[in-house]
Amino acid sequence: MTDPKSGDQAFLATDSRENWHEMTYAGALSFARRRYSRSLDGVDVVVSGIPFDGAVTNRPGCRMGPRAIRAGSTQLAELKHFPFGFDPFEHLSVIDYGDCYLDPHHPDGIFSAIESHACLLLEAGVKMLSFGGDHSVSYPLLKAHAKKYGPVALVQFDAHCDTWPDDGTRLDHGTMFARAASEGIIDVSASTQVGLRSYNDSDHGFEILTSPWIHRNGIDAAVDIVCQRAADSPVYLSFDIDGLDPAFAPGTGTPVAGGLASWQGLEFVRGLAPLKLIGMDVVEVAPAYDHAEITAIAAASVAYDWLAVLAKQKGALQHPVGRL
């Protein structure tokens, strides 16, 4: 008789804290093999895709990002978290809610649909881990979070400032943070942009830690500045995968040379444990330009590390092996 706990736990699991072995190369895809569910009872974090790329300014394709990130996460579910040495899902109830339904034939309703989707989840008391989609999806997500938490401290990991001039009508993946700042959704005095390597005439009040600065001064120095600046504010992490160098994340629509390495991105996310983390998005993964899934794997890994940090904040004890 087939063991009921063999494979396809995305559909077969009855508890969102369950975790059993699956063939890495087989089975139903969900993020880190989490249970697919629309029930929010007892849930800490909801994983949700936002498959929209109608606001890109260069190469399209990141509407396929959520699917690619899920595929890139399968191996993460096999072992305890590195380097923390615990299973985050023993301490954190996480479900995969599936994707936000969007009607591409009515583009004027896209952002309101995303905001409504996020408000529904946040009102239930869960945190959101969202997968884009292009970076414009962060705007309605931030609006929903600000309704619950008030103005949020944005920690933006990115190659681009995304604060290009906004005339009040233009909204794309390069203008949304200028719009959010002008509307008071973001508290720029507590916010930091990390990894930038594109020029803008104004910093809009953000602290900007450029990629060259981080290469010279290190991730620990960047984390210290971010934590000091955000202090006790509610912190929303927006991780644009093009913040990584194209050598580590070629599968994106607007790659820029000179970025950070995968290990730096992971170390950065792990360093945010002192902060009041309220939500995260990982955006701009465009699998058509990827090679050997390295972009999708990097995106899945930073998302998984964010969940591990939340588990650590809930009291999960570290059991590292080796020198860290």
Residue 258 has pLDDT above 50, yes or no: yes
pLDDT attached to residue 2: 60
Report if residue 47 sits inside a domain: yes
> Which residue type does 113 have?
A
pLDDT confidence of residue 19: 82
Residues 24, 18 contacting (CB under 8 angstroms)? no
Tens-place pLDDT, residues 307-320: 999 999 999 888 88
Tell me if 320 is assigned to some domain.
no
Does the pLDDT value for residue 1 go beyond 50? no
Is the pLDDT confidence value at 52 over 50?
Answer: yes
What is the percentage of the chain residues whose pLDDT exceeds 70?
99
Of 44-53, 74-83, 213-222, where does mean pLDDT reach its minimum? 74-83
Give tens-digit pLDDT for 285-301.
Answer: 999 999 999 999 999 99
Mean pLDDT on 48-71: 94
Query: And the tokens for 122?
Result: 């946040």
pLDDT at 249: 98
Look at residue 201 and tell me if it is in a domain: yes
- Considering its fold, how many domains does the chain have in total? 1
In SS3 terms, the chain reads as: CCCCCCCCHHHHCCCCCCCCCCCCCCCCCCHHHCEECCCCCCCCEEEEEECCCCCCCCCCCHHHHHHHHHHHCHHHHCCCCCCCCCCHHHCCCEEEEEECCCCCCCHHHHHHHHHHHHHHHHHCCCEEEEEECCHHHHHHHHHHHHHHHCCEEEEEECCCCCCCCCCCCCCCCCCHHHHHHHCCCECHHHCEEEEECCCCCCCCCCEEEEHHHHHHHCHHHHHHHHHHHHCCCEEEEEEEHHHECCCCCCCCCCCCCCCECHHHHHHHHHCCCCCEEEEEEEECCCHHHCCCCHHHHHHHHHHHHHHHHHHHHCCCCCCCCCCC
* pLDDT (tens digit per residue) in 232-242: 999 999 999 99
Q: What is the mean pLDDT of residues 145-173?
A: 88
183: domain CATH number?
3.40.800.10
Checking if the pLDDT of 4 tops 70, the result is no
In a domain, 2, yes or no: no
> Is 55 inside any structural domain?
yes
Residue ranges making up the domain that contains 108:
9-313
pLDDT tens per residue, range 89-144: 999 999 999 999 999 888 889 999 999 999 999 999 999 999 999 999 999 999 99
Which pLDDT value is given to residue 33? 93
Residue 120 lies in a domain: yes
Q: What is residue 84's predicted lDDT score, i.e. its pLDDT?
A: 95
Q: Is residue 4 part of a domain?
A: no
Residue 319 belongs to some domain of the structure: no
